[in-house]
Every structure is written in structure tokens, then in C-alpha cells.
């Protein structure tokens, strides 16, 4: 039997490193495809399949730095013999060969990359710029500077690789959340098989410390699970018999048995992995601009460098080719767009990684930009700001009707619905009376249910349903704070049931944080107006509207957008699909509970905590801030040194700082977001 990972209560792997085990083949294929695309943080204007990969390496950090260490050692020895410990033999071809030896470990890989890029039709790559600049330095006899430029460039490349690898660690950790094998019970005998071979209906035996590979239903009496892989929260979650458990959850206590209910590739974790893997395919406008800019900018720079070298011949009296060629080479080194095209995608990738670590999944870096600019958060009530767990508060039935019989009819009719209200009624009334025979059952959107039973019409819903069918009632619904389920039978008002939902513990803090971000909060709900306003007052929400049909919600969002204000809508992503489509950013709460939320929303909050909404906005704002800091840093420093270089006031050492130095500063700035607490 093959080795299976073991985990502690915090989700930390106790045995081998995740990097030592193979990653699931399909997910690994996605990761490899992503590594060859520009979102690996290092496109530099060359083709996406050029093989230049910052994100994948099996080498240790020492092995990655070894060529640079060898080059630096030989270079320092050469500089020492040139300036501090002169040697008579260190001249002519010996000196050239010595510095060539220093150049080879760091320069040959870049020359190879330049050649391969040219063969693929991408001439003006960073490798080409570095190659002609350093070879040019050798031609004019500036051997130490030629080596130094390539050496610092190689060191920068290693730091870039390490930075991208770190940025991808969250995805790699997620990929390892899905075990390769499961132990199933065949005739009560444990048997280990590949997870992909497990079928719906099989019984999984999950030992303490093992991670579940497929979604299923708990058939043991109870079990406690760590859900950190899915929600970002390590707090144990106790499940009871019959409840849903999801792939990626870690069993914390005794052996549990789970009946598989979903195919391996259709599990919630599979969908989340696919979402995160593809997150960088949707680029932010800033990132798209920089990519296009680099493709145009680099050829222009090469032409300008040639002009710097040649044009002065016609205007300068004491023209010395070597001096102007040196200036042109400095110009080329300075102008390499490394800092921009590395740090900007890396910044966005870091933002997506920081969000996923906190249980927030962005479907693309463009949504990080959009959410940073959000001015209004429009939210649903039930399941978003409230627990979505209703309990019956009061049952008021007209004495003219048999209360027990009427409640049984209501309970049986509502059993066709998955709405939390139906669940509350079922918990209150008890078992469903299967002997009742309903005909012409009809759900009226935004109103309730209608059916015929025992030859008479039964209506169960809100008071708009009563008005629709001209049922007279002698109470004022506005006087009742709670959600009210009105009942009519035989064309007469039979009474009502009140149901209450509790507010989530972090809901009030959520609204306070939104206000601190200068974001207005609006609540839209199909629930009773008095209930919606009561909840809104408790939370400090700016505007609240109840008794809304789906089209009413759309109209309310349109009103906000007509003021040229951006809107994020937070809901379940299913019933509110029209509003999600209309909003600038659609946020799904409780994404693990519904496949449709993962499909329709732009941002998925994996647990039900509304406090993740302002956190997502904060991550978007901080990501955008870091990206613009890098853009300004790169442009300002390069512009200054370019002018100095063209005027002969900057040497190759300043050029190295303007290129590799600024790139490293930008990378260090970009990875900061991964350490931030939101």
C-alpha cells in the first residue's frame, strides 16, 4: 500500500513535505500550463512558451545561486588582480579568457534563451538586450562591467524565481489537499484504491488525521473535521450523521465512515482548485497594458540605442565610437523592462494568493482592481448577514380551522421546497403526512406556494399572495416584526406562522468596516419589509428594502449604478443571478454550499462570514497600491538613469541598479502582500 499523508488538528502535514509527493496529474497539468503563461510573473514580452520558467524548479536555493557564486568568485579575483594585486601574466588573452570564464556560468544560459527566442520570432526579448549589452561591453574591453551586468541579472533571476515560487505556494498547498487514494469498505473489509476509481455510493473509511478525497454524506453518528483547506479557518467543525462533508476536510478524531455522493472531478474542492488555477487568466487592465507596453517599448529602445551610438557622428566634433557605443550599451541595460513585467503580475498573483489563504477566491486579477474601487456593497439578508437558520416563533391559527390538520398540510406542501423557512416549519411540525395528496402544486415567484388538497385550495406564502388571490385578512402585517408565513384554506384566511432568523456575530463589525472604507451598505431582500428594516437598524446599514421580487432587486441596483457608482452584490449567486450579472463584482457567500455560486460569482467567500467582504476590498486596495508603487518606482528611476546614461553621466554600474536593482526592489515590494494581515 502506498504512503498516505497524515495531518495534525491545524491541517499541518506531519509526514513528508508536500513538494516531495507527486501532485494530482490533472491539477499539475494546469499548473504547468500556467507556469508557461505570462501570469507566472515574467513574460518580458517574449512568447508564453519560450520555456523561461520562474515558477518551476527542482533545484535547492544553493544550487540556484551556484552559477552566480562561481561567477562572482572569478570576477572578484579578476578585479583584485586588475586593481589591488597586479600580476604580470594577467594581461592580453589570459585576462580575456579569465573574464570569459567568469561570464560563462551566468551568461551562457541567457545567450541560449536569446537564441531560442529569436528562433521563435521574438527578437526583442530581455535576453537579447542583456546579450548585446554584455557582449558589447566585452568588445570595447569593459570585461568586468560586462560580467557584472550579467551576474547581477542572473542573481535577479534567482530572486524572481524564489518570489514566484513563494507566490504560488498557496496553490501548491491547495493541490496537495486532494489525496491520491481512499480506503473504501468492500463487504466490511478495508481496501485502498485510487481516489479517481471510487464510485458514488462507495463507503469511505477515514482514519484520524486523514484527509477526505471526495464529497460525501457522513454515515457515522458524528465526526469533527478541520476545514482549513476550504475555508481558511482551522476551527474544528463537528458534523452529525446525514450531514455533508467535503473533499479536503481532515478527520480529527475517531474513524469515520462517509458515503460518496459526488464524483471525484465534480467535488467542491475540484471546482475550487480549477477556479484558483485559472484565476490569473483574467488580467487586470494595468497588467494588460504593461504587457502590450513591453512589446512596443523594447524595439523602440533598441532603435534609440543604435541612434545614440550613430547619430552623434554627424553632430559631434570629437566623436569617439567606443564612448558612444558604451553609452548605447548602458542605455540598453537601463531600459530592460524587467521591473515592470515581473513585479506587476507578481503583485496581482500575490493578492490572489493572500485572498485564497484567507478563504476568499478571486476569479481573476481584474476583480482585484474592480473590488478596490467599489463604492456600494449591496447585500442579501438571509444567509449573508443572518445565519439563514430559521425557527418558528409563533403559530396563530383561526379557531375555525383544525390547527393540527392545517399545520400538517402546510408542512407537507413546504416539504417540496429547500428554503430555510420550509426547514423551520418541518422542524416545528415534525414528520410529513404522506397520506395527504396534493394536486396542481404551483410555486409563485416572490409570493409562495399554491396547491389543491382534499378538494380545496391551499395558499402558503406572504401577504402579497393573499392579496393576489383576494383573500381578506384582519391583521396589519406591518405590525409584526418577524417573517410571516400567511395561510389561506378554502378561500379564507386561516392564520399565520412567524419565523425569526438570527444575525451573524460578525455582521455588525462588517458594516462598520465597510463604512471605514467609505463604502455604503444597502440591504435588498424578498423578506418582509419590517424584518429587513429591523435587521438593517441593528447592523447600521445605510439603506434597506424588503418585499422585493428578483426584478425589484435589479431595479434597485440599476438606480445605484445610474449615479455612476460601482456596486458589489453579495448573495447566493443562484436566486439573485440577474443582480450578480448586473453588478460590477458579484460575491458569493457560502460558496461551498452551492455549485452554482462558484460558477456565477466573481469572488467566492468559502465560509459564511460577512467580515470577509471588507477583507476582500482591503486586499484589492492593497494589491492595487503595491502595483502602482512599482510602476512609479520603475518609471522614475529608469527615466533618471536613462537621461544620465545618454548624456554620459552614468556608468554600467548605475545601469545595473536601474535594471536589476529596481526589479529586486519591486519584487520585494510585491511579495509584501503575502505577509500582510487583513
Tens digit of each residue's pLDDT (9 = 90 or more) over 41-67: 333 333 333 334 444 455 788 888 999
Output the average pLDDT for the chain. Answer: 80
Of 481, 502, 523, which residue is a domain's last? 502
CA distance 588 to 544: 19
Residues 612 and 628 in one domain: no
Q: Where residue 35 falls among pLDDT bands split at 50, 70, 90?
A: very low
Residues 514 and 410 in one domain: no
The DSSP result for 587-616, as a single string, is: EEESGGG-HHHHHH-SEEESSS-TTHHHHH
Per-residue confidence (pLDDT) for residue 482, from 0 to 100: 83
Joined grid coordinates for residue 332: 540598453
Residues 330 and 372 in one domain: no
Domain that holds residue 524: 360-386+505-617
Q: Which residues contact 97 (CB under 8 A, 6 or more apart)?
A: none
Per-residue confidence (pLDDT) for residue 172, from 0 to 100: 55
Q: Which residue has the higher pLDDT, 550 or 570?
A: 570
Of 568, 600, 617, which residue is a domain's last? 617
Residue 562 burial (C-beta neighbours within 10 Å; 0-12, 13-18, 19+): exposed
Residues 531 and 444 in one domain: no
Q: Is residue 467 part of a domain?
A: yes
Q: Is residue 288 part of a domain?
A: yes
Q: Are 180 and 24 in contact (CB under 8 A)?
A: yes
Of 487, 502, 517, which residue is a domain's last? 502
Per-residue confidence (pLDDT) for residue 598, from 0 to 100: 62
Mean pLDDT across 635-639? 84
Per-residue confidence (pLDDT) for residue 134, from 0 to 100: 86
pTM: 0.67
Q: Is residue 53 part of a domain?
A: no
pLDDT (tens digit per residue) in 257-275: 999 998 887 776 676 666 6
Task: Please tell me which residue in 122, 380, 527, 659 is annotated as part of the active site.
Answer: 380
Count: domains in the chain = 5
Residues 157 and 228 in one domain: no
Residues 234 and 185 in one domain: yes
Q: Is residue 306 part of a domain?
A: yes
Per-residue confidence (pLDDT) for residue 176, from 0 to 100: 54
From the DSSP assignment, how many helices (H) and strands (E) are in the chain? 23, 22
Q: Which CATH number covers residue 369?
A: 3.40.50.1000
Whether the predicted pLDDT of 94 surpasses 80: yes
Mean pLDDT across 450-463? 92
CA distance 562 to 553: 14
Residues 524 and 589 in one domain: yes
Residues 364 and 509 in one domain: yes
Mean pLDDT across 494-510? 90
CA 298 to chain CA centroid, Å, is: 31
Backbone angles phi, psi at 567, to 5 degrees: -135, 130
Residues 195 and 169 in one domain: no
Whether the predicted pLDDT of 549 surpasses 60: yes
3-state secondary structure of 512: helix
Mean pLDDT across 600-610? 82
Q: Where residue 338 falls among pLDDT bands split at 50, 70, 90?
A: low
CB atoms within 10 A of CB 320: 11
Per-residue confidence (pLDDT) for residue 274, from 0 to 100: 67
Backbone angles phi, psi at 125, to 5 degrees: -100, 170
Helices marked H in 120-192 — which ranges? 126-139, 143-167, 169-175
Mean pLDDT across 178-206? 88
CA distances from 88 to 74, 84, 95 (A): 18, 13, 11
Whether the predicted pLDDT of 11 surpasses 60: no
CB atoms within 10 A of CB 189: 7
Whether the predicted pLDDT of 339 surpasses 80: no
| 256-260 and 216-218 beta bridge pairing | antiparallel
Q: Where residue 478 falls among pLDDT bands split at 50, 70, 90?
A: confident
Whether the predicted pLDDT of 4 surpasses 60: no
Residues 373 and 517 in one domain: yes
Joined grid coordinates for residue 286: 494595468
* 380 catalytic residue (yes or no): yes
Q: Which residues contact 25 (CB under 8 A, 6 or more apart)?
A: none
Percentage of the chain modeled with pLDDT above 90? 29
Joined grid coordinates for residue 449: 406556494
Of 132-141, 280-289, 537-546, 659-668, which one has max mean pLDDT? 537-546
Whether the predicted pLDDT of 20 surpasses 70: no
CB atoms within 10 A of CB 231: 23
CA distance 290 to 340: 7
Residues 320 and 285 in one domain: yes
pLDDT (tens digit per residue) in 611-633: 999 999 999 999 999 989 988 88
pLDDT (tens digit per residue) in 363-389: 888 899 999 999 999 998 877 888 877
pLDDT (tens digit per residue) in 96-122: 999 999 999 999 999 998 899 889 887
Q: Is residue 47 part of a domain?
A: no
**CA neighbours closer than 13 Å in the CB half-sphere of residue 450:** 16
Q: Is residue 16 part of a domain?
A: no
Q: Which of 295, 224, 289, 216 is nearest to 255 (CA)?
A: 224
Per-residue confidence (pLDDT) for residue 638, from 0 to 100: 80
Q: Where residue 19 falls among pLDDT bands split at 50, 70, 90?
A: very low
Residues 612 and 510 in one domain: yes
Per-residue confidence (pLDDT) for residue 55, from 0 to 100: 46
Per-residue confidence (pLDDT) for residue 17, from 0 to 100: 33
Lowest mean pLDDT among 242-246, 353-357, 543-547: 353-357
23 secondary structure, DSSP code: P
Per-residue confidence (pLDDT) for residue 154, from 0 to 100: 84
Amino acid at each position: 500500500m502506498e504512503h498516505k499523508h497524515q495531518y495534525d488538528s491545524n491541517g499541518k502535514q506531519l509526514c513528508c513535505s508536500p513538494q516531495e509527493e507527486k501532485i494530482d496529474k490533472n491539477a499539475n497539468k494546469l499548473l504547468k500550463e500556467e507556469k508557461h503563461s505570462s501570469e507566472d510573473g515574467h513574460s518580458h514580452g517574449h512568447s508564453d512558451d519560450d520555456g523561461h520558467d520562474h515558477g518551476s524548479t527542482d533545484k535547492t536555493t544553493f544550487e540556484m545561486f551556484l552559477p552566480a557564486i562561481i561567477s562572482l568568485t572569478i570576477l572578484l579575483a579578476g578585479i583584485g588582480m586588475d586593481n589591488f594585486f597586479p600580476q604580470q601574466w594577467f594581461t592580453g588573452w589570459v585576462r580575456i579568457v579569465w573574464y570569459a570564464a567568469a561570464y560563462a556560468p551566468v551568461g551562457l544560459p541567457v545567450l541560449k534563451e536569446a537564441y531560442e527566442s529569436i528562433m521563435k520570432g521574438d527578437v526583442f526579448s530581455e535576453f537579447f538586450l542583456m546579450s548585446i549589452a554584455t557582449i558589447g561591453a566585452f568588445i570595447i574591453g569593459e570585461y568586468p562591467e560586462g560580467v557584472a551586468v550579467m551576474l547581477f541579472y542572473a542573481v535577479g533571476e534567482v530572486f524572481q524565481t524564489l518570489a514566484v515560487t513563494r507566490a504560488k505556494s498557496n496553490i501548491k498547498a491547495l493541490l496537495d489537499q486532494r489525496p491520491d487514494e481512499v480506503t473504501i469498505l468492500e463487504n466490511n473489509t478495508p481496501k485502498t484504491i485510487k481516489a479517481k476509481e471510487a464510485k458514488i455510493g462507495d463507503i469511505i473509511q477515514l482514519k484520524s488525521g486523514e484527509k477526505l478525497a471526495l464529497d460525501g454524506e457522513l454515515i457515522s453518528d458524528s465526526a469533527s473535521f478541520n476545514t482549513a483547506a476550504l475555508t481558511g479557518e482551522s476551527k474544528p467543525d463537528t458534523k452529525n450523521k446525514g450531514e455533508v462533508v467535503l473533499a479536503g476536510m481532515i478527520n480529527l478524531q475517531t474513524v469515520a465512515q462517509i458515503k460518496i455522493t459526488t464524483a471525484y472531478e465534480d467535488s467542491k474542492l475540484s471546482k475550487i482548485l480549477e477556479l484558483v488555477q485559472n484565476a490569473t487568466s483574467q488580467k487586470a487592465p494595468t497588467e494588460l497594458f504593461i504587457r502590450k507596453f513591453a512589446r512596443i517599448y523594447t524595439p523602440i529602445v533598441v532603435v534609440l540605442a543604435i541612434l545614440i551610438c550613430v547619430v552623434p557622428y554627424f553632430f559631434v566634433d570629437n566623436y569617439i565610437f567606443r564612448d558612444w557605443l558604451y553609452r548605447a550599451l548602458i542605455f540598453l541595460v537601463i531600459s530592460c523592462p524587467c521591473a515592470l513585467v515581473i513585479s506587476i503580475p507578481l503583485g496581482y498573483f500575490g493578492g490572489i494568493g493572500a485572498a485564497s489563504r484567507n478563504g476568499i477566491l478571486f476569479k481573476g486579477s481584474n476583480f482585484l482592481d474592480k473590488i478596490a474601487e467599489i463604492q456600494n456593497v449591496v447585500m442579501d439578508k438571509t444567509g449573508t448577514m443572518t445565519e439563514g437558520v430559521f425557527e418558528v416563533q409563533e403559530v396563530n391559527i383561526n379557531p375555525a380551522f383544525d390547527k393540527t390538520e392545517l399545520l400538517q398540510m402546510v408542512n407537507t406542501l413546504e416539504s417540496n421546497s429547500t428554503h430555510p423557512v420550509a426547514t423551520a416549519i418541518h422542524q416545528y411540525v415534525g414528520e410529513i403526512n404522506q397520506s395527504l395528496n396534493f394536486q396542481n402544486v404551483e410555486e409563485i415567484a416572490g409570493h409562495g406556494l399554491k396547491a389543491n388538497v382534499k378538494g380545496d385550495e391551499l395558499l402558503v406564502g406572504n401577504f402579497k399572495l393573499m392579496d393576489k388571490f383576494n383573500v381578506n385578512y384582519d391583521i396589519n402585517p406591518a405590525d409584526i416584526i418577524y417573517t410571516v408565513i400567511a395561510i389561506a384554506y378554502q378561500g379564507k384566511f386561516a392564520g399565520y406562522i412567524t419565523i425569526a432568523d438570527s444575525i451573524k456575530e460578525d455582521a455588525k463589525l462588517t458594516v462598520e468596516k465597510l463604512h471605514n472604507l467609505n463604502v455604503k451598505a444597502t440591504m435588498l431582500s424578498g423578506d418582509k419589509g419590517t424584518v429587513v428594516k429591523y435587521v438593517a437598524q441593528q447592523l447600521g446599514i445605510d439603506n434597506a428594502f424588503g418585499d422585493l421580487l428578483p426584478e425589484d432587486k435589479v431595479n434597485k441596483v440599476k438606480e445605484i449604478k445610474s449615479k455612476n457608482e460601482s456596486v458589489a452584490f453579495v448573495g447566493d449567486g443562484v436566486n439573485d443571478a440577474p443582480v450578480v450579472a448586473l453588478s460590477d463584482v458579484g460575491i458569493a457567500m457560502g460558496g461551498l454550499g452551492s455549485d452554482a455560486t462558484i460558477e456565477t460569482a466573481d469572488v467566492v467567500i468559502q465560509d459564511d462570514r460577512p467580515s470577509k467582504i471588507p477583507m476582500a476590498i482591503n486586499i484589492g486596495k492593497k494589491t492595487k497600491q503595491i502595483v502602482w508603487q512599482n510602476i512609479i518606482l520603475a518609471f522614475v528611476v529608469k527615466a533618471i538613469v536613462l537621461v544620465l546614461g545618454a548624456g554620459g553621466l552614468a556608468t554600467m554600474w548605475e545601469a545595473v541598479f536601474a535594471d536589476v536593482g529596481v526589479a529586486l526592489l519591486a519584487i520585494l515590494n510585491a511579495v509584501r502582500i503575502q505577509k500582510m494581515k487583513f
